[in-house]
Amino acid sequence: MALISQLIFLLVLGIAGYFLWKRISEIKKNILSGKPIDRSDNKGERLKTMMLVAFGQKKMFKNPIPAVLHLFVYLGFLIINIEVLEFVIDGLAGTHRIFAPYLGGFYNVAMNFFEFLAFMVLVSCIIFLIRRNVMKVGRFMKPEMKGWPWLDANLILIIECVLMLAIFLMNAADQVLQHQDVVGYIQTGHFFFSQHLYPLLEGLETSTLIVIERGAWWFHIIGILGFSVYVTYSKHLHIFLAFPNTYYSNLNAKGKITNMDTVTNEVKMMLGMAAESSEPPAEVSRFGAKDATDLSWKSLMEAYSCTECGRCTAECPANQTGKTLSPRKIMMDTRDRIEEIGKGEGTEKSLLGDYISKEEINACTSCNACTEACPINIDPLSIILEMRRYVAMEESGSPASWNSMFSNVETNFAPWKFSPTDRDNWKEDLNE
């Protein structure tokens, strides 16, 4: 019987591993379909940024209450997975609580700590469900959150609650079986939280308790494996991508907008200035970005990393004044579009026009409030600017007032429509 159980576990683990590997390969391929960008500099600063922002949750604590709740969920995910390691070893080796004999009394301490985290994860997820569905916090109610995004957020929270309850039920049944001195159930001492379920289980037959304990064990491990695959299709992919995304953050000052090297070199040559490179400029197939594959791989990684928390949209002045722009929607649309491209679908579509409108990108004030607000340093502005470049340079489709300004900059070297020689005329009246 133990051998059959081990083979079933190995089969389940193999199936989950295959689907996880397949999905990760798809995501990697989609991200790398973006344009190259060099983020290999300042390794020390990048590591520091990752540790503070992704691992240390630094930017989350601008809003303390949800930050503390999220911290418990985050720590629970990281630390409770140590127990999952025991699950995997037990499943492969056909053992039960393999670490208990070696850790002695420390095992009880560790399990009580794991149960405390599981309890806090449960409480935090329930509060998050209330915030989304009862309190209806404004940033969760935006138009782009209807349908699948709303369902996905709630499913994740419900799944986490159910998995935590499975831990408590498994531990409680295990404790009762220990008290009955059933063979194979090692004495581990009391578990503080799960012991409150004892009254529900103590009157049951041993065979029933074993079914409950084993059922909860299988439910939890299959749930964890299924959850790990589901996450790759969900906004909760940020659990993993937050780390590389923050490592490859843009370390430049927020107000610095990167020029296009090809255009810069061409302008310098026209002005008789030395270009930055002696090599002839590479032929550019498209200025700016019309579709997702015109964006950098970093922008595509950010699209997959987006938590859909809405902090960017909540801080966006354009969105606050009723305009159509939502930085969160920009990231969600980019992710949806690169997924569509990766599947070979929607060849007649493009990111600009079919997903994101000119009205949205023109509403952006380039203030960087969205980038500053994002808890994992996602930069929606870089996508908006690339699409603006395409509209301006490929379509000449910018608003008339913008085109007038562009013309003035070209002819007068300033946004205003007067000659550079008249620029100091305002001072003449000061001497009278």
Report the mean per-residue pLDDT for the chain.
90
pLDDT (0 to 100) of residue 334: 98
pLDDT digits (tens, 9 = 90+) for 118-130: 999 999 999 999 9
pLDDT digits (tens, 9 = 90+) for 31-51: 999 999 999 999 999 999 999
pLDDT (0 to 100) of residue 429: 74
Place of tokens 């990281």: 78
SS3 415: coil
pLDDT digits (tens, 9 = 90+) for 127-152: 999 999 999 999 999 999 999 999 99
In terms of Cβ atoms closer than 10 Å to its own Cβ (0-12, 13-18, 19+), residue 153 is: buried
pLDDT digits (tens, 9 = 90+) for 345-359: 999 999 999 999 999
* Backbone φ and ψ of 96, nearest 5°: -140, 120
pTM over 0.85, yes/no: yes
Closest CA to 34 of 380, 296, 290: 296
Tell me: pLDDT of 399 over 90. no
In terms of Cβ atoms closer than 10 Å to its own Cβ (0-12, 13-18, 19+), residue 406 is: middle
Residue 159: pLDDT band with limits 50, 70, 90: very high
CB neighbour list of residue 151: distance below 8 Å, 6 or more residues apart? none
Tell me: pLDDT of 208 over 90. yes
pLDDT digits (tens, 9 = 90+) for 232-285: 999 999 999 999 999 999 999 888 888 877 777 777 776 677 655 556 555 667
Give residue 378's identity as a one-letter amino acid code: I
Tell me: pLDDT of 431 over 70. no
Q: What is the DSSP letter of 264?
A: H
Dihedral over alpha carbons 53, 57, 62, 65 (to 10 degrees): 170
CB neighbour list of residue 372: distance below 8 Å, 6 or more residues apart? 254, 315
In terms of Cβ atoms closer than 10 Å to its own Cβ (0-12, 13-18, 19+), residue 19 is: middle
* Backbone φ and ψ of 208, nearest 5°: -65, -40
CB atoms within 10 A of CB 161: 18
Question: What is the average per-residue pLDDT within 174-179?
Answer: 90
pLDDT (0 to 100) of residue 106: 92
* Backbone φ and ψ of 356, nearest 5°: -120, 130
Structure tokens at 305: 């990393």
pLDDT (0 to 100) of residue 269: 72
Give residue 268's identity as a one-letter amino acid code: K
Question: What is the average per-residue pLDDT within 283-295?
Answer: 87
Between 362 and 273, name the one with better pLDDT. Answer: 362
